[in-house]
Amino acid sequence: MARRRLSDRQKQRIEAIQQRRRQRLEERAQQALTTADADSPREGVVITRHGQTLVIRGDERSLHHCLCRQNIGHPVCGDRVVWQPMPSNQGVVTALLERTTSLARPVYSGEHRALAANLSQLVVVLAPAPEPNSYLLDQHLIAAEGMGVSALIAVNKKDLFSGEESAAFEQAFGHYRDIGYPIVWVSAKYEHGLDPLIGQLRDKTSILVGQSGVGKSSLIKALLPDIKIQIGRLSDASGLGKHTTSATTLYDLPQGGQLIDSPGVRSFRLGQLDRPQLEQGFREFRPYLGHCRFADCSHDQEPGCALIEAVGNGLIAPQRLIHFRHLAAGLPDL
Ligand code: GDP
Ligand code: ZN
């Protein structure tokens, strides 16, 4: 469906419908709370959402399907919450705990709606085909910096690289390692060389992002050999039928760490950023920011620009500054 702007009246109508829905849900949650054990609030993590039902994992790792109080915000996958147990593995979520990070996308009202919370790492997947796009890579890295999560580059389809092509890739992308983004080479198809990636995922909550066709779904299958079992458990726990992989879901990695996955999360794009946010998004620019001759330097062609100088001295990759200028000018693609 074509994206279109909603008129104010349409927005008001949607708001009114949503308001009534929230009211009904709040009544249901309050009703449920009368049967809940009010003395035993517990902490848990949102594993997924199933319509209005949240699947919460409690401390003892069991899964519970929960209604949600409506005045606490909008818990999403990865959120830590307080919930009160009810009979038969159900419960009511009564509080949303503070998020360390959130991955958000703009919604029709222009606000940002969280897709996932408490991520700690973004894994940008590249491959020899489709051809790696460093402009998109930079946008993902900027998003990671903006969220305050670490980022890592996973080069998939290692089996398709000839020696020469690997060298060319290294030439084009090796500088990302120098500025603190680890690069690991993997082959999801042959489940080859996954260990360095598995090592980087341990102790973190990660998501995979990247162009369509680079092998994100294949990697998820390779990293989560028991994904069907995990999905089966969620279907049982939600009590609402089959859980689908299109819902944003938190999975446990067998060797430690967690993956948050959904098609929406995989394909999220960088939102609108102001200039300072954009400057901070290029991590190797930071030592030079504030050192240009002009305080309002656009790092375009001004004399005394510290960033241009750093490029001249081989301290910043030229392409990164080009991408910065392009994004600062608000141009969508390169
Ligand atoms: P996604 O769109 O990023 O989720 O990519 P998919 O996982 O659907 O993979 C796209 C295509 O690349 C499929 O045809 C996969 O079989 C293929 N593919 C994925 N990983 C590898 C790999 O390591 N080596 C090779 N040769 N092909 C792969
Ligand atoms: Zn400058």
One-letter amino acid of 305: C
User: Which of 27-41, 144-158, 219-233, 239-253 has the largest mean confidence?
Assistant: 144-158
Position 66 scores a pLDDT of 92
The residues that bridge with 171 in the sheet, in sequence order, are none
Closest to 283 (Cα-Cα) out of 152, 180, 134: 180
> Does this model's pTM top 0.75?
yes
Alpha helices, DSSP H only, in the chain?
8-35, 134-147, 163-178, 195-201, 216-223, 227-238, 263-266, 275-281, 306-312, 318-328
Ligand 1 atom closest to residue 221's alpha carbon, by position in its atom list: 7
CA of 91 from ligand 1 middle (Å) equals: 40
pLDDT (mean) for 108-117:
82
Write the DSSP symbol of residue 286: G
Residue 32 near residue 54 (C-beta atoms within 8 A): no
Q: 44-48, 87-91, 157-161, 238-242: which range is least confident on average?
A: 238-242
Q: Which residue CA neighbors atom 19 of ligand 1 most closely?
A: 215
Position 1 scores a pLDDT of 45
Closest ligand relative to 288 C-alpha: 2
The residues that bridge with 124 in the sheet, in sequence order, are 153, 209
Position 31 scores a pLDDT of 80
Spatial distance between the Cα atoms of 36 and 28, rounded to a whole number of angstroms: 12
Summarised one tens digit per residue, pLDDT across range 230-275 is: 888 888 876 767 777 788 999 999 999 999 999 888 877 777 788 8
Position 250 scores a pLDDT of 96
Summarised one tens digit per residue, pLDDT across range 305-318 is: 999 999 999 999 99
Question: Residues with Cβ within 6 A of ligand 1?
Answer: 156-157, 159-160, 187-189, 212-218
Closest ligand relative to 289 C-alpha: 2
Spatial distance between the Cα atoms of 308 and 291, rounded to a whole number of angstroms: 11
Closest ligand relative to 294 C-alpha: 2
Ligand 1 atom closest to residue 220's alpha carbon, by position in its atom list: 7
User: How many whole angstroms from its chain centre is CA 302?
Assistant: 36
Instruction: Please say if the pLDDT value at position 2 is more than 80.
Output: no
Report in angstroms the alpha-carbon separations of 278 from 7, 101, 148, 204, 329.
31, 18, 13, 25, 11
Residue 78 near residue 38 (C-beta atoms within 8 A): no
Position 3 scores a pLDDT of 56
- Reported as a pLDDT band with limits 50, 70 and 90, residue 111 is confident
Summarised one tens digit per residue, pLDDT across range 120-144 is: 999 999 999 999 999 999 999 999 9
Ligand 1 atom closest to residue 212's alpha carbon, by position in its atom list: 2
CA of 305 from ligand 2 middle (Å) equals: 4
3-class secondary structure, 293? coil
Q: Which residue CA neighbors atom 10 of ligand 1 most closely?
A: 213
Which residue from 136, 166, 189, 245 has its CB within 8 A of the most atoms of ligand 1, so it is best to mutate? 189
Write the DSSP symbol of residue 190: T
Spatial distance between the Cα atoms of 14 and 6, rounded to a whole number of angstroms: 10
Average per-residue pLDDT for the chain: 89
CA of 93 from ligand 1 middle (Å) equals: 39
**To 10 degrees, what angle do helices 163-178 and 134-147 make?**
30
Instruction: Please say if the pLDDT value at position 69 is more than 60.
Output: yes
Position 209 scores a pLDDT of 95
3-class secondary structure, 195? helix
